[in-house]
Amino acid sequence: MKTFPSIFLAVCAAVFVVRAQQPRAPELPDITTLPEDVRVPAISEAAPAAGLRVRQTTHGWEGTGVHHVLGLPANWKRGGKFPVFVEFAGNGGYKNNFGDVCEGTVEGCNLAFGISGGRDTICIAMPFVKVADGRKENAANWWGDADETAAYCVATVREVCREFGGDEKAVVLCGFSRGSIACNYIGLRNDTIAPLWKAFICHSHYDGVRTAWPYADADRASALARLQRLNGRPQFISHEGSVEDTRRYIEASGVRAAFEFSTLPYRNHTDRWALRDCEQRRKVRAWLRSFGLPGQ
């Protein structure tokens, strides 16, 4: 007769054999196995010109520490009309074991420039604005003052369109990580900013999917109120590994719009996939062309 310890050990051994026989989920490849074919220009201290990325501060915020980065395409000419990509960055201070890093700065944004390839489209890396002790400056983490951020964003888009030939009917909002959440959290925050956008590109995280974020109005009801301001406009939504959590959230929300879901089949939490000739970039460029927007 077998004793309890011997039975227990036999069961454990059987479980081990079953688990050993089950195939492991394949490890996702690293995005750095693909070479970068788009180079984001360094920040120039010159005046705005074709092919340059420069720091600017929008009128009304002079004398503050707030600034955005304006990138004019290589084929920009005075008097022309160009679509505009507005980009929000991820949180600063991020790094992981795969070598992915995010500093949370406007200078470090890669998504818009990579997708555009540096041609045909004006790119604006937009700051999150924090207000502390009467001073306004860029916030490397989370929203700062969300209403102030939205106000700066609206004023900047209008000013860039007016002064550099941006097409107000062809403005796309995009973002990575914190910036992806911001597409709705900031971009659909109120009835002043929400109508600015023709389309959205949201990579890695999405407003309302996770509610444990450390900021106000991260709850589902607040996120749904923002999402309802989408009014059917298209969103390209992606995530590394799997986008299914976001797909399920949106399907359960009852909001209907032109949602396009795409999984980035790499393990990296980064916006630098846009600088590489990968399937994800080809998909988003084709998606943009389907709405009459530039896609290389």
pLDDT of residue 62: 96
pLDDT of residue 134: 85
pLDDT of residue 53: 98
Look at strands 135-138 and 166-176 and give their pairing.
Answer: unpaired
Which ranges of the chain does DSSP label H, i.e. alpha helix?
4-21, 111-116, 146-164, 178-185, 220-227, 244-253, 279-290
Contact 110, 274 (CB under 8 A): yes
Query: Within 13 A of 292's CA, how many CA atoms are on the CB side?
Result: 6
Instruction: Answer positive or negative: Cα dihedral of 276, 282, 287, 290.
Output: positive
Length of the chain (residues): 296
- In angstroms, rounded to a whole number, what is the distance separating the alpha carbons of residues 29 and 234? 29
**pLDDT tens sequence across 203-236:** 999 999 999 999 999 999 999 999 999 999 999 9
Query: Within 13 A of 122's CA, how many CA atoms are on the CB side?
Result: 31
pTM given for the model: 0.90
3-class SS of residue 169: strand
| Tokens encoding 186 | 């900031």
Look at strands 68-71 and 122-126 and give their pairing.
Answer: antiparallel
CB count, 10 Å around CB of 158? 15
Q: Which fold has domain 48-290?
A: Rossmann fold (3.40.50)
| Tokens encoding 295 | 């896609």
Q: Please give the single-letter amino acid code of residue 35.
A: P
**How is 7-58 classified by DSSP, letter by letter?**
HHHHHHHHHHHHHHHSPPPPPPPPGGGSPB---PPPEESS-S-TT-EEEE--
- In angstroms, rounded to a whole number, what is the distance separating the alpha carbons of residues 216 and 142? 11
Residues of the chain short of pLDDT 70, as ranges, are: 1-26, 295-296
Contact 86, 173 (CB under 8 A): yes
| Tokens encoding 125 | 């890396």
Domain segments of the chain as ranges: 48-290
Please give the C-alpha separations between residue 268 and each of 95, 99, 111, 140, 271, in angstroms, as whole numbers.
10, 8, 14, 20, 9
For residue 65, report the phi and psi dihedrals to the nearest 5 degrees: -95, 10
- In the block, residue with structure tokens 């009459």: 292
DSSP-derived secondary structure letter, 256: -
CB count, 10 Å around CB of 53? 21
